[in-house]
A and B are shown apart, each in its own frame.
Chain A
Amino acid sequence: MRRSTLTGAATLAALVLTLTACAPGGGSATSSEAGSATASSAALSTDVAAAGDITLTVWDQNTDPGINDAQEALNTAFQEKYPNVKIERVSRSFADLKTTLGLALDAPDAPDVVQANQGYPDMGTFVEAGLLRPIGDYATLYGWDTAFPAQQLSLNSFSADGKTWQGDNLYGVSQTGEVVGVYYNKAKLAELGITKPVTIEDFGAALQTASAAGTLPLEFGNTEKSPGIHLFGIVQAATLGATGVNELVSGKSGAWTDAGTVEAADLLTQWTTAGYLPTGSSGISRDAARDNFAGGGSLFYVDGTWRLSQLGEAMGDNVGFLALAPAGSTDPVTTGGVGLAWAITGKTTKTDAAAAYIDFITNPAAAAVLLENGNLPAVVPADYTPAAGSLESDVISTWNTVNETNGLVPYLDYATPTFYDTITAAVQELVAGQYTPQQFADTLQADAAKFAESR
């Protein structure tokens, strides 16, 4: 009995020792070196046919119906153009992609092309580990550096060490554009005798008029938490301005406790206390909110251009879209950016084919396919004219305007690796009156300061 106990204990101890002999991730250090080594190899070529019969493994998150249709059409067209290439599409929902992409990029059989989310936890970490290939060379080759506005390209850039967002290296290009703005019910607006708001002040006045007339001014459903970033983002964009928000989010200057941010928080508090937003918005799903707005339940609704096809279908020409300008201005400043970046992985050897694929799904011909399926392409072809008075024309003109006037500010959660959790929770606290505007600002600043210190 005693001897076997001893033997058992010894075996267990030996097992523990062998298991824990090395630091986690010991195996992946070599792989990331290999990744960066391939980056500067061989001459670039646009000749896909020369690659012979290959399979290109592509990970995307285009699962929403409209964009899924577009992606499938583009993949088919690419394979028709290059019969030697077989596209192996791995399509995952946004959340599932986030969970699994890191593990896949690091695996020996890593995919060739992936959609990587901008920001520190994803693109930044991948760049740091050498899992994404810098694509500045291909950008020159295919002319992406001129086809896309500089502002868009910088959103998809990082420093080579992955520590600084909007750095010198381009790691991807985006297929779609996104603006967060205000959808409005045209009939209700006319009925209330309100002219279409231009500035944040007009918007506040419109909310008040609607409320006085017994109409719910602004529908808001925030169970999923991400809508909170959108709502706060567009208000802050208007109170702090494009430069202010850009510098703040990229950590270049400013603090979250500065006047512009606190003012935005203060406005939201005023609106919620005045009952302009539904109470208990954290218990209403974003889709229920959209439904209620579409059914005529409110005058305004804040969401992104990704709702274009759904709201257009539900409301026809009775719905319009606008972005707010700071007080005293007519140039809108609002949250937005580009869809997830299409990137070439660090481990792939099929870089030429990968680049050709990315070009194929983001070029003007692809933009036309995206438009056909109710999506907003990153660059709308100049010759494209949407039907006058349609929601699509509002969305496209807003997108073009903010691109031309540099009125786009990034999603606030790009600020730090933990900022998504911090700000989404804080917005819920704010609209429920649990935080004062100052407490709200302090919470955000604490997160930003912690990250600045760690860099």
Chain B
Amino acid sequence: MRITRGEALLNYGVLTLFSLMAVVPLIGVVLTSLTPSGQAGGGLRVPDRLAFENFSEAWDIGRFGSYLLSSVIVTVSVVVLTTVLATFAAFAFARMRFPLSNTIFYLMLVGLMLPAEAFVIPLYYNLRSVGLTDSYWALILPQTAQSLAFAVFWLRNQFRQFPDGIVEAARIDGAGDIRVLWRIIVPPSRPAIITMCLLISMWTWNEFLIPLIMVTRESLRTAPLGLAFFQGQHATDFALLSAAGIIVAAPIVLLYVVAQRHFISGMIGGSVKG
């Protein structure tokens, strides 16, 4: 697996270029977050003094102590619930034959394509009529429903690729469906499942409209809602908004850095066997 020095250089060049493009706007966010509040009008410039106090101020104004906790609860619940439900469903779609299975699968896939505007208002009235608004359920269940579409799609793809021979062998050894699923099929699918969990965490974490509409109580509101406090009717505090954005993004960036080792680890060659 060796490549020539010239090719390596070229690769570095291309990667560096694209990484730079990815990072420059983010550096803008970091610079703005360190500009003394009130001096940042949204322009990109190096601050004359590093205003670290923006972060503690943003933390208070954005109520992140409470909002982040709520975000963690909601995101973890959505990810766990989605993964469990989707694993069972995807297993059936991928490896069992039953009438209407394709119809049901494609119906659920619609969830992936629905813009939130297409369901959020009736959903609000439905949940309110059964007293579920202003509760964690109002955040967790709709977002689980949204995530399921992708999860089922993704895992079905994954599970279908699984060689029949191995499953057959396990069955001959007397393994039931559940055992085949959790012991034979799921473990090697781990990189795919982790990738999926990461994407779902990210989407759930950054969701804005559903939490905005479904809950009012402070203790239930999620972190992205805190960002709104920096955009008033007549002015935006760019410095504090950027600091707040970094606070909101930090947990998910951390998650990504930790998780990527797992889903990339089996990337190529012998490393799979390690």
A–B contact at 8 Å CB threshold (below): yes
Q: In the complex, which residues of chain B have a beta carbon less than 8 angstroms from the beta carbon of A292?
A: 41
Asked if A287 meets B42 with Cβ closer than 8 Å, knowing A4-B100, A64-B234, A100-B212, the reply is yes
The 8 Å CB contact of A287, one of B125, B213, B236, is B236
Mask for B146-161, Cβ within 8 A of A = 1, else 0?
0000000000000000
- Does the CB pair B236–A285 fall under 8 Å? yes
The 8 Å CB contact of B233, one of A64, A90, A288, is A64
- Does the CB pair B212–A96 fall under 8 Å? yes
Compute how far the CA of A292 lies from the CA of B231 in the bound complex, rounded to whole angstroms: 19
Compute how far the CA of A406 lies from the CA of B246 in the bound complex, rounded to whole angstroms: 47
- Does the CB pair B232–A93 fall under 8 Å? yes
Mask for B48-79, Cβ within 8 A of A = 1, else 0?
00000000000000000000000000000000
Mask for B112-133, Cβ within 8 A of A = 1, else 0?
0000000000101100110001
Q: In the complex, which residues of chain A have a beta carbon less than 8 angstroms from the beta carbon of B235?
A: 64, 286-287, 290, 306-307, 310
Q: Assess whether A316 is interfacial by the CB under 8 Å rule.
A: no
When C-beta atoms are compared, the residue in chain A nearest to B104 turns out to be A8
Q: Assess whether B38 is interfacial by the CB under 8 Å rule.
A: yes
Q: Assess whether B43 is interfacial by the CB under 8 Å rule.
A: yes
Within 8 A of A (CB), among B181-225: 212-213, 216, 218, 225
Compute how far the CA of A104 lies from the CA of B99 in the bound complex, rounded to whole angstroms: 44
Q: Assess whether A388 is interfacial by the CB under 8 Å rule.
A: no
**Min distance, Cβ A341 to any Cβ of chain B, angstroms:** 14
- Does the CB pair B232–A103 fall under 8 Å? no
- Does the CB pair B213–A5 fall under 8 Å? no
- Does the CB pair B236–A4 fall under 8 Å? no
Q: In the complex, which residues of chain A have a beta carbon less than 8 angstroms from the beta carbon of B225?
A: 96
Compute how far the CA of A104 lies from the CA of B231 in the bound complex, rounded to whole angstroms: 22
Q: Assess whether A42 is interfacial by the CB under 8 Å rule.
A: no
When C-beta atoms are compared, the residue in chain B nearest to A12 turns out to be B107
**Min distance, Cβ B199 to any Cβ of chain A, angstroms:** 27
Q: In the complex, which residues of chain B have a beta carbon less than 8 angstroms from the beta carbon of A104?
A: 216
- Does the CB pair A61–B233 fall under 8 Å? yes
Q: Assess whether B162 is interfacial by the CB under 8 Å rule.
A: no
- Does the CB pair B229–A287 fall under 8 Å? no
When C-beta atoms are compared, the residue in chain B nearest to A65 turns out to be B237
Q: In the complex, which residues of chain A have a beta carbon less than 8 angstroms from the beta carbon of B238?
A: 287
Contact residues of A: prevailing secondary structure: helix
- Does the CB pair B41–A27 fall under 8 Å? no
When C-beta atoms are compared, the residue in chain B nearest to A284 turns out to be B42
Mask for B19-44, Cβ within 8 A of A = 1, else 0?
00000000000000000001111110
Q: What range describes how many residues of B lie at the interface?
A: 20 to 34
**Min distance, Cβ A83 to any Cβ of chain B, angstroms:** 22
Compute how far the CA of A208 lies from the CA of B125 in the bound complex, rounded to whole angstroms: 57
When C-beta atoms are compared, the residue in chain B nearest to A109 turns out to be B134
**Min distance, Cβ B32 to any Cβ of chain A, angstroms:** 11
Q: In the complex, which residues of chain A have a beta carbon less than 8 angstroms from the beta carbon of B228?
A: 63, 92-93, 95-96
Q: Assess whether A1 is interfacial by the CB under 8 Å rule.
A: yes
Compute how far the CA of A291 lies from the CA of B233 in the bound complex, rounded to whole angstroms: 17
- Does the CB pair B38–A310 fall under 8 Å? yes
When C-beta atoms are compared, the residue in chain B nearest to A4 turns out to be B99
**Min distance, Cβ A101 to any Cβ of chain B, angstroms:** 11
Asked if A27 meets B125 with Cβ closer than 8 Å, knowing A5-B99, A285-B41, A285-B42, the reply is yes
Q: In the complex, which residues of chain B have a beta carbon less than 8 angstroms from the beta carbon of A303?
A: 234
- Does the CB pair B234–A306 fall under 8 Å? yes
27 contacts between A and B (CB under 8 A): A4-B99, A5-B99, A8-B103, A27-B129, A61-B233, A63-B229, A64-B234, A92-B228, A94-B232, A95-B231, A96-B228, A99-B213, A104-B216, A108-B128, A285-B42, A285-B236, A286-B234, A287-B42, A287-B235, A287-B236, A291-B39, A291-B43, A292-B41, A306-B233, A306-B234, A307-B234, A307-B235
| A-to-B contact residues, CB < 8 Å | 1, 4-5, 8, 24, 27, 61, 63-65, 90-96, 99-100, 103-104, 107-108, 285-292, 303-304, 306-307, 310, 313-314
| B-to-A contact residues, CB < 8 Å | 38-43, 99-100, 103, 122, 124-125, 128-129, 133, 212-213, 216, 218, 225, 228-229, 231-238
